Amino acid sequence: MYEEMQKVPPQKQDRQPGLESGMTPKPAAEMRHWKGSGKLAGRKAIVTGGDSGIGRAVAIGFAKEGADLFILYKDEHEDAAETKRLVEAEGRRCETVAGDVGDPAFARAAVEKAAAFLGGIDILVNNAGEQHENKDFATIEEAQVERTFRTNILGYMWMAKYALPHLREGSAIVNTTSVTAYRGSPHLVDYSATKGAILAFTRSLAAQLAERKIRVNGVAPGPIWTPLIPASFSPEEVEKHGGSTPLERRGQPDECAPAYIFLASDADSSYITGQVIHPNGGEPVNG
């Protein structure tokens, strides 16, 4: 189904986290082939980084399963508006708010707005992220490291912290980590470190919240065709992206979203917490 989408011309975007509207070809991120069965009927979900890529596919997949959505994004207004339109086309309610989840004041205010709009919170998907290629760690800028950690791990912590008072038994948190958390990346040292931190955060928070019957799990995608790719790598690297996986291709957001639906659904994964699913094209990992 997705093999025909593998020809990607060299391209580059000069902003983080990138725009889906500026990608060629566009990612498969609309879950067009997904048939909902009410797995998330009546549920209320926050998705950070939900404007594009994996976040968009997750939001639409959740809507197809019956959930209402509150989407947080940085400043990609055109992408966010399109995701909102696609969610509402599934007959679900959706609101979008722009801001920096790494700012605890924004995270707290956003959670309260979400709870008011949705009438509660059942699911938190921490998915916002950024990455910046660096091939010589001796030259990495301190501001880049701080910014990457602020978005990729502190933002997850703030969102979870402020969502927790609203979560009840049966609620779920799903965190986006990465294959780089397990095998590292020589050109994404700081990014890989944040993804390893997300893995430890997921397991530790799962252990703490088990007695409250709130499940916490993760998804560790491999090379997925999202706006982060042309925003992070050279045009030549973008063209070859994903070719080294056992499946010899890049993945699509639609191929990741089912893992989030599974982990968010109490009907499917009520006995699963502290675990990670790996849609990575066949790369072996441990844990």
| Residues assigned a catalytic role | 191
Count of CB atoms within 10 A of residue 77's CB?
13
The Cα–Cα gap between 80 and 20 comes to 10
SS3 162: helix
User: Which ranges of 164-252 would DSSP assign to H, the alpha helix?
Assistant: 180-183, 189-209, 228-232, 235-240
Q: Which two tokens stand for residue 138?
A: 């001796």
Q: Which two tokens stand for residue 112?
A: 């309260």
Task: For residue 146, give the H/E element and its range.
Answer: helix 142-149
Task: For residue 174, give the H/E element and its range.
Answer: strand 172-176
The Cα–Cα gap between 165 and 180 comes to 32
